[in-house]
Amino acid sequence: MKLTINHCTHYTYAQQVKRSTQYLRLTPQDSCHQHILSWSLALPAEATETSDAYGNVLHVLTLDQPHQAITIEAQGVVEIAGSTEEEGEGALSPLVFLRCSPLTQPDLPIRDFAARFHAPQSQYLALCDMMNELLHRMPYRPGTTSVTDSASNAFMAGQGVCQDHTHVFLACCRSLHIPARYVSGYLYSEDSEHVATHAWAEVWLEGHWHSFDVTNNTCRPDQHLKLAIGIDYLDACPVRGIRLGGGSEAMHTVAAVQSVETLPQSQSQWQS
């Protein structure tokens, strides 16, 4: 499947910002699941390209002049493989992803829930069952949580979005001593109301990374485009920054993922 991606993030501030730095994980990489045919970023100034600790492509955008708005755009064409081939270890040891963060720290209710799915002889199937049960316990409800909500808060609330599903799933896996990592990216869907920006989990089992998309209750990443990985949302979110001044902030984001074969009828879009 060949997809086109257009993603625009626009920040406005009540007052002038004296200086700011944005950390952008908006550039996907080739893998067994995806082949990047073209990709570009449109930024208000030249950014420094590097890699972060997890091997993600990282652009650091620094604006030293006063400004009251920032627009960041990413677009490209990517071919997604239809195979279910799992990814190998990579440059970083999977054991790194046993570590919990404040957003993924399992509390007692999460530990008790995860313990029901401890099955060393058939752990993959048990995690599929856990994914299904977790979505049943935490139905998808946009607008009920924020990026600061932890796994324990979302699990207690019993609802959330893909970020919350992923954080809780990671907390469950790590409580079972199974390495698991957060993945940010895009999702193609024929449903025009479906979000295009997305998050899911990857779990290290039997020498491979396996995908678990709790929100869509699937282990097949054949409509997913991976951007970045990390311990949690804060490590892998597409745009994250710091600033001096500016007062209150407003952010508007539009992301669209379209199939080349069905343009322009079929489109996924998310706005906030």
For the chain, which domains are there?
2-81+238-271 (2.60.40.2250), 94-236 (3.10.620.30)
Q: What tokens were used for 255?
A: 């992301």
CA dihedral 201, 101, 129, 118 (to 10 degrees): 130
- The pTM score is 0.91
Which pLDDT score is estimated for 3?
94
- CA-based nearest residue to 59, from 91, 27, 29: 27
d(CA 236, CA 199): 9
pLDDT in tens, the chain (272 residues): 899 999 999 999 999 999 999 999 999 999 989 999 999 999 999 999 999 999 999 999 999 999 999 999 999 999 998 666 677 767 899 999 999 999 999 999 999 999 999 999 999 999 999 999 999 999 999 988 888 899 999 999 999 999 999 999 999 999 999 999 999 999 998 765 556 899 999 999 999 999 999 999 999 988 999 999 999 999 999 999 999 999 999 999 999 999 887 555 434 333 32
Quote the longest CA-to-CA distance of the chain.
59
Map the chain to HEC letters: CEEEEEEEEEEEEEEEEEEEEEEECCCCCCCCCEEEEEEEEECCCCCEEEECCCCCEEEEEEECCCEEEEEEEEEEEEEECCCCCCECCCCCCHHHHHCCCCCCCCCHHHHHHHHCCCCHHHHHHHHHHHHHHHHHHCCECCCCCCCCCCHHHHHHHCCECHHHHHHHHHHHHHHCCCCEEEEEEEECCCCCCCCCEEEEEEEEECCEEEEEECCCCECCCCCEEEEEEECCHHHHCCEEEEEEECCCEEEEEEEEEEECCCCCCCEEEEEC
Buried/exposed 157-169: b ≥16 CB within 10 Å, e otherwise: eebbbbbbbbbbb
Q: Rounded to whole angstroms, how far apart are CA atoms 160 and 143?
A: 8
Q: What is the pLDDT of residue 143?
A: 86
* pLDDT for the residue 146: 87
pLDDT score of 36: 97
Whether the Cβ atoms of residue 22 and residue 9 lie closer than 8 Å to each other: no
Task: Give the whole-angstrom CA distance, residue 187 versus residue 196.
Answer: 5
Give residues with Cβ within 8 angstroms of 155, minimum separation 6: 107, 109, 110, 113, 137, 138, 168, 171
Q: What is the pLDDT of residue 191?
A: 67
Nearest to 52 by CA among 242, 240, 243, 236: 236
Q: 143: Cβ–Cβ under 8 A, 6 or more apart, which residues? A: none
